[in-house]
Amino acid sequence: MVNRFWKFWTSLKLTVVLLGLCTLLVFLGTLAQVHEGLWEAQGRWFRSFWVWRRAGDVWWVPWCFPGGYTLGFGLLFNLIAAHLKRFRLSWNKVGINLTHLGIILLLVGQLLTDLLSRESFLSFAEGETRQYSESHREVELVVATPAGEASAAGGEGRERVFSFDGSRLFQGAPSLRHPELPVELRILQYGENAEVFSRASVLEAWGRLTAALVALEAKYGSVEAVVAEAGEVASNEGRARVWKEALQAAGGGFSVGAEGNWVDAARQVLADPKREGVFREDLKRRFRSQMLAAFGRASQMEDMPSDQARAMAYVAQEFQAGRLEGAPDAQKLPVLASQGVADKVLLVPKPAGRGMDDRNVPYAVVEVREQGGQKSLGTWLVSPWLEVGQEWNTGGRSYRVALRMRRYAQPFALTLLKTTHEKYQGTNIPKNFQSRVLLENPQTKERREVDIFMNNPLRYGGLTFYQSQMGRTEAKGGKGTSVLQVVRNPGWITPYLGCAVVSLGMVWQFLFHLVGFLARRSGARSPSGGGSGTTAGAGERELPSGEGVPRT
């Protein structure tokens, strides 16, 4: 039994099967990225032991497939076992041994990276200083209070901060407590993603849309108004197209594309009492949907503030779906919480984006209760987008609640001094992104300026800062903003080591064989007079390759 087990783990057959499966897994995992997004597919296919088919998968997903961890560990055990069994010190095996040692290092290094590395982001505008970076995906719930006498622990600036790990939010923790906090928190609702509007702008957009629809109703309400309209539309290309299509649908003896006086045709239809009603309704319907579509595209208009444009798109979508109608009415917009800014914003849950660049806006509804007591102080709606105006008082102290992207503090501060964003002449191809940053570390008394740009990160204090994105603040004459990717990876050196060792091994092996091969060839050819030039390979020995690894 033990013998068979040992034989299985040391066999070269297993290696070949595992390598073949690895190739297939990488192929499938890459294809899966198209549908599942880079992040999701990575977790499902490469950072897992098994991939199971789920409902809603694309047709090619197999019922079950070994995941990256299974194959990776399989190869690791196979390698180690095989070497334990066959290790022999000899010149012609140095290359193979080195290569495999390097592969082991690479596999272990990748595992370490998976387990230990952490990516976060640091974004700031020119002139701003940051002592922390933020996670892209994880959130934390914090309660902050102005630091009084007890400012020793957990201080963050002039505030005392109690933070609760984001993972507890959706695990349905009954209540979140802290010994020094006079209140406890209960999560009533949590969502991974939502869109946040100001209620005022939604109501305003609603008003605008209603007014426009009323005007439309009036315009196509009576035959006379429509006849008058017919004369004017000819000059407007877009409106004329709608008219032509409606006319075609009404069978007005007119076909799209044919030139001719279509306005007359329209007048004829309008003069016919049997047809004009249907024609007008059809026109109204067409212009209504066009108007809704135009509202939906408001964000593409240049001089529209983005908040208003989003509100217009939202209202148009709700009208289209029939969820909103009639005159603006604040009562019809849901309010999720009783306190704080909940009555100033409208939060609409939406499915979380899975793509690499999707920025989700998580939210939660939190109830604050007195510690141990039954008295509720109210409910708060929290989200990384809503950080101000969420205060209350308990025992004469003011407290603030917020849901924010998880922060990682660093013992030094970075200040963005200047951003540079160059493009090639007359194109939009980026030539250079560069952030000049002031680095201040009170512990080492360092105070120096550094440039961070593409392919030139800042490595400091176990962290590496990479230039990631660049932009400008929205205000006119805005300041440059910069986003740095912050990576902590204690295992970063293993792939370098592994690569060096494997490369060394491979080069050794390759040269060893090449030299041997060429020597033998010239030896084989010289007796026959330097090669007749006709047939080759005659009288040649088998390549010594098979000797590299003993056969099982």
Partner 1 sequence: MKQRIPFLVAVVLALCVFRGSSVPRDPDPRGQSGSRFPASAFGRLPAVGGGRIQPLDSIARNSLLQLREKQRVNAEPWKSWWQRPRMLSASEWLMHMFFAQKQADALPVLRIDHPDVKGLLELPMHEDPEKKTDGKHFAWSQIQPKFDVLREETRRAWEVQESARSPYERAVLKLWEGVAVYRSLQNAVQPPNAERWEQELRDWVAQVPAGREAAKAQQAGQPFDQAVLERLLVELQRAEEMLRDEKMRRPNNPPLVVAPYRKSEAELAWGKTGEALFDVARGAPLPVSVQAYAAMGTAFRAGDAVAFSSVLTGYQQHLTGVHAGEIRKAASEQRFNHLELFYRALVLYVLSAICVLVYMLAPERLEAWRASGVAITGVALVVHSAGLVYRMLLEGRPPVTNLYSSAVFIGWGACVLGLLLERVWRNGIGAMVSAVPGFLTLIIAHHLSLSGDTMEMMRAVLDTNFWLATHVVVVTLGYSATFVAGALAMLYVLRGFFSASLTGETAAALSKMVYGILCFATLFSFVGTVLGGIWADQSWGRFWGWDAKENGALMIVLWNATFLHARWGGLFKERGLMALALGGNIVTAWSWFGVNMLGIGLHSYGFMSAAFHWLMGFVGLQLALILLLLLPRRMWRSRAA
Among residues 217 and 422, whose Cβ is nearest to partner 1? 422
> Nearest approach, Cβ of 505 to partner 1 (angstroms)?
10
Q: In the numeric block, which tokens belong to residue 106?
A: 């690479």
509: tokens are 């092996």
| Beta carbon nearer to partner 1, 408 or 517 | 517
Q: Does 551 bind partner 1 (CB under 8 A)?
A: yes
Count, residues near partner 1 per rule CB under 8 A:
70
Mask: binding to partner 1, 389-428, rule CB under 8 A, as x and -? ----------------------------------xxxxx-
Q: In Å, how far are 18, 40, 44, 196 from 50, measured between CA atoms?
A: 14, 14, 8, 38
Interface positions, 196-215, toward partner 1 (CB under 8 A): none
Looking at 23-31, 146-154, 223-231, 407-415, which segment touches partner 1 (CB under 8 A)?
23-31
Interacting residue with partner 1 among 211, 304, 519, 538 (CB under 8 A): 538
> In b/e form, how buried is each residue of 499-535, taking b as 16+ CB within 10 angstroms?
eebbebbeebbeebbeeeeeeeeeebbeeeeeeeeee
In this structure, what is the dihedral angle of CA atoms 284, 288, 291, 293, given to the nearest 10 degrees?
-130
Residue type, 343: D
Of 441-470, binders to partner 1 (CB under 8 A) are 453-455, 457, 464, 466
549 is a site residue for partner 1 (CB under 8 A):
yes
Q: Does 12 bind partner 1 (CB under 8 A)?
A: yes
Residue number, 373 or 430, with CB nearest to partner 1: 430
- Would you say 200 or 499 has its CB closer to partner 1? 499
What six digits make up the tokens of 145?
Answer: 């209070």
The two tokens of residue 474 are 């929205």
Half-sphere exposure of 371 (CA within 13 A, CB side): 9
Residue 414 CB, nearest approach to partner 1 (Å): 16
Mark the segment that binds partner 1 (CB under 8 A) among 123-131, 276-284, 317-325, 534-542.
Answer: 534-542
Query: With binding defined as CB under 8 A, does residue 6 bind partner 1?
Result: no
CA angle 477, 481, 484 (to 5 degrees): 170
Beta-carbon contacts of 27 under 8 Å, excluding residues fewer than 6 positions away, are none
Is residue 331 near partner 1 by the rule CB under 8 A?
Answer: no
| Min separation Cβ 36 and partner 1, Å | 10
Instruction: Name the CA dihedral angle for 496, 500, 506, 511, rounded to a multiple of 10 degrees.
Output: 150
Q: 202-205 contacts: CB < 8 A, separation 24 or more?
A: 202/311, 202/314, 202/315, 202/333, 202/346, 203/328, 203/330, 203/333, 204/308, 204/311, 205/295, 205/308, 205/311, 205/312, 205/314, 205/315
Which segments of 37-143 does DSSP mark as H helices, in order?
38-41, 68-86, 91-116
What interhelical angle do 262-271 and 273-296 show, nearest 10?
Answer: 120
- Which pairs from 172-177 meet CB under 8 Å and 24+ separation? 175/369, 176/141, 177/371
Q: Binding marks (x or -) toward partner 1, 105..124, rule CB under 8 A?
A: ----xx--x---x-x-----
x-or-dash string of contact with partner 1, 425-444, rule CB under 8 A:
xxx-xxxxx-----------
How many Å separate Cα 334 from the centre of its chain? 29
Rounded to a whole number, what is the largest CA-CA distance in the chain? 109
Residue 16 touches partner 1, criterion: CB under 8 A: yes
Q: Which is nearer to partner 1, 46 or 206 (CB)?
A: 46
**Given the complex with partner 1, which of 396 and 537 has the nearer CB atom?**
537
Show contacts with partner 1 in window 33-52 (CB under 8 A). 33-34, 38, 41-42, 46
* Interacting residue with partner 1 among 90, 374, 443, 535 (CB under 8 A): 535
> Which residues is 447 bridged to in the sheet?
440
Nearer to partner 1, 161 or 450 (CB): 450
CB of 13 to partner 1, least distance (A): 6
Give 31 or 377: the residue with its C-beta nearer to partner 1: 31
d(CA 2, CA 198): 69
Torsions phi, psi for 281 (to 5 deg): -60, -40
Q: Please report whether residue 23 would count as binding partner 1 according to CB under 8 A.
A: yes
Query: Contacting partner 1 (CB under 8 A), which of 261, 304, 536, 544?
Result: 536
521: three-class secondary structure by DSSP: helix
Q: Spell out, one character per residue from 469 to 488, where the chain touches partner 1: x when CB under 8 A holds, - when not.
A: ----------------x-x-
Q: Point out which residues bind partner 1 (CB under 8 A).
A: 12-13, 15-16, 19-20, 22-23, 26-27, 29-31, 33-34, 38, 41-42, 46, 109-110, 113, 117, 119, 423-427, 429-433, 453-455, 457, 464, 466, 485, 487, 489, 492, 495-496, 499, 502-503, 506-507, 509-510, 513, 517, 521, 531, 533-538, 543, 545-546, 548-549, 551-552
